[in-house]
Amino acid sequence: MKYSSSHTLYCLKEEMRDKMRKWREENSRNSEQIVEVGEELINEYASKLGDDIWIIYEQVMIAALDYGRDDLALFCLQELRRQFPGSHRVKRLTGMRFEAMERYDDAIQLYD
């Protein structure tokens, strides 16, 4: 049986999404893998992920901070801010980024 390339891409997207979900559910701290899979998922399939994209942005952002990829963390944070302006959860993520950048006073101000 031959599969079309769109079917193959669909299967790859679903496999990657399932990996991300499994890692979230297991609270895995495998930041390098999350960044690798998550960045590809975001770059290649963001528009096809529906509402799952928002939890993926959050998961990738936290892993990117842990892995030292501030560029990716900032990108994810900006997307979350755009979608959820004024969100307490996004505010907490902003504080986490400040902490990762050793801007502790900014983080404390944000948390207060």
Pairwise CA distance, residues 30 & 98, whole Å: 21
pLDDT tens across 44-70, in order?
999 999 999 999 999 999 999 999 999
94, 110 Cβ separation under 8 angstroms: yes
What is the signed CA dihedral for 105, 88, 77, 12, rounded to 10 degrees?
140
Pairwise CA distance, residues 65 & 2, whole Å: 41
pLDDT tens digits, the chain, 112 residues: what are they?
444 455 565 688 899 999 999 999 999 989 999 999 999 999 999 999 999 999 999 999 999 999 999 999 999 999 999 999 999 999 999 999 999 999 999 999 999 8
Nearest to 16 by CA among 54, 56, 70: 56
Range 5-111 has CATH code 1.25.40: yes
Domain ranges in the chain?
A: 5-111
